[in-house]
Amino acid sequence: MTEPADDELWSAVADPSRRRIVDLLVRHGEATPSSLASEVPFSRQAVSKHLAVLEAVGLVRHRRLGREVRYRVVPARLYAAAHAMTQVADDWDRRLTAIKRLAEATHAGSEPEATAS
């Protein structure tokens, strides 16, 4: 079972808009909400709200530079999140392989016998 922090992380990255923002921050290194808004189909206010969610789960951090607020990805948290997602994917691969084997075994054991007509 996942921990509450993981649940919050999954919720944060489940949104395609937030994943897009993370992608842009990875590409640019650092960006303001206004510069990010110029690259996405939603408002600066929406970008700011998405950044707040991403910051709450530790994926991004901000710093003030004069009047600007600049955001960047937290590499260690992004790596940890990617690692956690890989583990979940591996677990599901194992489960699906087990289900496939069970289904194949069940199917092989229940071949209909030929009926004499």
Read off the pLDDT of residues 80-106 as tens digits, 9 standing for 90 and up: 888 888 988 999 999 999 999 999 999
Q: How confident is the model at residue 1 (pLDDT cuts 50, 70, 90)?
A: very low
Name the token pair of 99. Answer: 């289900």
Residue with tokens 């009926």: 115
Top-tier CATH class for 4-74: mainly alpha
3-state helix, strand, coil in the chain (%, to 5): 65, 10, 25
Q: Are 16 and 49 in contact (CB under 8 A)?
A: no
- The residue among 61, 62, 51 whose CA lies nearest residue 15 is 51
